[in-house]
Amino acid sequence: MFYRDERLALLIDGVNLYSAAKALEFDIDYKLLRHEFMNRGKMLRAIYYTALLENDEYSPVRPLVDWLNYNGFTMVTKAAKEFTDSQGRRKIKGNMDIELTVDAMELAPHVDHIVLFSGDGDFRPMVESIQRQGVRVSVVSTIRTNPPMLADELRRQCDNFIELDDLRDAIGRPVRETDDNATN
């Protein structure tokens, strides 16, 4: 539940939200997402967190990061670290949990409601701390995938759970087909 006069902050775990939307087979339209939550309260901040591979000539997330940066989102990025695991597979590590948590703790005295776009159970202690400061916390994720993308402990801790799939009509667009699977 939202109140029109409450001060909102959106904290978006980019990789987590992307994975949840992809599992539900839709893309997020961030212009619509921002507009949806501006209509729900007085949005003070919309912050998007993601790691970027700095050594890649082209990163598929770079155009999104640039667009968000010019369209009302605060971007928090850091260089992802690339490594090879014991089986020889290329892995990328770029966890943004600490950055998101620090921002949430700093924003808490200035907002009434934080909307966390992540299902990561590591955020449960952060949510609990913010709640102790009198801030309501809604979590946007999905339990309609198998397995669910939302950790049970986070769902139990938050004040309000918003099923991402229920926002599909308000903030989604169909997944773009690639040339490989487009029909002629």
> Where residue 100 sits, what CATH number does that domain have?
3.40.50.1010
| Domain count within the chain | 1
Residue 68 covered by a domain: yes
pLDDT value of residue 173? 86
Q: Per-residue pLDDT tens for 61-94?
A: 888 989 999 999 999 998 888 778 888 887 777 7
Six-digit token string for 130:
């913010």
Q: 76 in a domain, yes or no? A: yes
pTM: 0.88
Range of the domain at 101: 7-173
pLDDT in tens, 17-58: 999 999 999 999 999 999 999 999 999 999 999 988 776 666
Q: Report the alpha-carbon distance of residue 19 to residue 91 in Å, rounded.
A: 16
Report yes or no on 178 lying in a domain.
no
Q: Are 61 and 25 in contact (CB under 8 A)?
A: no
Q: Give, in order, the Cα–Cα distances in Å from 66 to each of 37, 60, 62, 131, 173.
A: 21, 11, 6, 33, 19
Q: Tell me, yes or no, whether 17 lies in a domain.
A: yes
